[in-house]
Structure 1
């Protein structure tokens, strides 16, 4: 008589933190073991001032997300609190896996999480990372969201344990990103950053978002504005074209749309929105919108006018709050340096 035995394997508790809902959903469908949450933030945009308690930081971010993306602040606050509560339960997990990419959007999220974990005793919990900038067979890789279940599953065995050097660099980079001036960030970029191979390029792209010495626009706005007279006035065409040219930023459609809204609502607008619905953040309405460049916008692109001097600025880039008719920090394309006004 043959006897069949069924073996039950109790999987070790594991938490996966993904860079977005798409990746989290695919990972669940791929049956990658553990709990999967999406880090629903966009720390690459809006205020991240230094020195705040976690509660105050969450409140600052909730108000920014609500204002920028036209969502109820209560919902934004609740989502941020829920994500941090999931983080706080890390000691119940045998392993926490971070899934992120090479671009600025993901690298800023990653250094925040590394900073968060660096300030805590991990105990027996293992912290691991999956972070890529390419995938075999994907000719133009933009992000993990492009991968199917089988492709995402293939990355899981290759995760590596996060080192003390990575925790230290991530925490240092987050502190520099949140500082009220760019001096620490500039110094960091001159140091050895090899522990995180994608971080130097990502933070260099961050510096290029500051108002340029040429016309007062950052690289994101300059790139988007140039595309409109080139035949990409409809947002459904503008966004893919922008991603093809500026994939290193990792911007989603919402981030680019908010940037376009800022140009259109300036006292002296650079673009005019057509087919608009009171700047609704509804995904369908965003895709239906289109833009045309104004005469002033053409003058700014040509370097004949300066956006900041004309319109002023009230914008956060990390921990730096740019305000007034002059920007204390300017990106100089020729020297590839961030310059400070004395």
Structure 2
């Protein structure tokens, strides 16, 4: 892979003068013949020009041309200096997010509306269609056990957040902030499907990528200026979106993943980021051959490649390079790996338990190597019970699994 021409942004901010300097430096290398990989991308019959170097820099950052790069930088700068929300009665707005990661940045950017969190990690543990009290008790039991948290604290936090949902109904305006991963998209359909009456004005800001950011993980990584830039891009939530959310939520809560899979494979949904997120979440069902979720399989592959590696490094490698649609926090990832470590038939061996969990070295057991190679199935061993949405997975019993085409099949 060619060396990068520029320093990719993490928070979305791009300095135009810095890019101009890099373009001039690249031009010198092109003319001296010391940048052969980039030289090959230019016409051979003409002397390299500054415009050529600028175009290469822009494309390296994800833009089609230098003018498009400049236009984006100008738009972000304008949004920061002339925030449209000041003249848009933003103070009456409720901002809803599946975490607290943008609350401070919203304030720094000048947003003054009310901020609400809904942090139930719907991408993990049982999610079933139950009456509210039973549903919350089910989620509290799972979260407190999986994450090692005090049940009373989890119960209080969950009750507070679910009790806030009615605030959405009939409020003057609400904006939902989402990205493309399963954590956010499940938050989106949960909120929309819960509405009996919507706000007077309900809008959605969602994005799968931000120009200039090499690996966009989520809105929380963006600088305040970029939140101001996203604000004018919000779109109204339509009745069709609400109906789709209700359909998707019912499918996700069902004991069979068949309806969920049909939605996940569609290309025409009015919530455009929903199908890819549902498809990625579908891959948390066990593979037909090895019984592993995609997260489990990628984690075992990383451990196998490193030989011995701290758990925190596995998480960093997974989120930074391997995971196609990052959705896990570090505590969530730890909860994913614990059953593979603590089972009577473990796939992973953990050393030095006196260390904090992120620093403990991990290696594969012999069984872990066999399962990763497809020579044994994890759900034929003593794998702990696991849920993906409304789908229950129990070792030694018939269960839903995914074939190579990512369609659910029943494995007896």
- Tell me, yes or no, whether TM beats 0.5: yes
* Matches for 1:54-93 after TM superposition, within 5 Å: 54-91=132-169, 93=171
Corresponding residue for residue 341 of structure 1: 411
Q: d(CA) in 2 for partners of 1:229 and 1:209?
A: 20
Identify which of 307, 328, 338 aligns with 1:261. Answer: 338
Corresponding residue for residue 176 of structure 1: 251
Does the CA-based 8 Å contact 2:123-2:182 persist in structure 1?
Answer: yes
SS in 1 for 2:335: helix
**Higher RCO by CA contacts (8 Å cutoff, separation 6 or greater):** 1
* Matches for 1:124-143 after TM superposition, within 5 Å: 125-143=200-218
Q: d(CA) in 1 for partners of 2:219 and 2:357?
A: 23
Q: d(CA) in 2 for partners of 1:300 and 1:11?
A: 53
Does the CA-based 8 Å contact 1:19-1:40 persist in structure 2?
Answer: yes
Q: List gaps (5 residues or longer) in structure 2.
A: 1-86
1:41 is the counterpart of 2:120? yes
Does the CA-based 8 Å contact 1:228-1:292 persist in structure 2?
Answer: yes
**Structure ID, larger Rg:** 2
Identify which of 350, 358, 371 aligns with 1:287. Answer: 358
* Matches for 1:12-51 after TM superposition, within 5 Å: 12-50=91-129
Number of residue-to-residue matches in the alignment: 324
**TM-score computed with the length of structure 2 as normaliser:** 0.74
SS in 2 for 1:22: coil
SS in 2 for 1:151: helix
Distance of aligned partners of 1:320 and 1:11 in 2 relative to their CA distance in 1, 3 Å threshold: closer
Distance of aligned partners of 1:236 and 1:189 in 2 relative to their CA distance in 1, 3 Å threshold: closer
Q: d(CA) in 2 for partners of 1:96 and 1:276?
A: 46
> Where has structure 1 moved over 3 Å in runs of 4 or more?
8-12, 189-193
| RMSD after superposition | 2.1
Identify which of 283, 295, 310 aligns with 2:381. Answer: 310
TM-superposed CA distance for 1:230, in Å, is: 1.5
TM-superposed CA distance for 1:306, in Å, is: 1.3
**TM-score computed with the length of structure 1 as normaliser:** 0.89
Distance of aligned partners of 1:324 and 1:130 in 2 relative to their CA distance in 1, 3 Å threshold: same
Identify which of 107, 112, 120 aligns with 2:185. Answer: 107
TM-superposed CA distance for 1:194, in Å, is: 2.4
SS in 2 for 1:329: strand
Does the CA-based 8 Å contact 1:313-1:327 persist in structure 2?
Answer: no
Distance of aligned partners of 1:300 and 1:54 in 2 relative to their CA distance in 1, 3 Å threshold: same
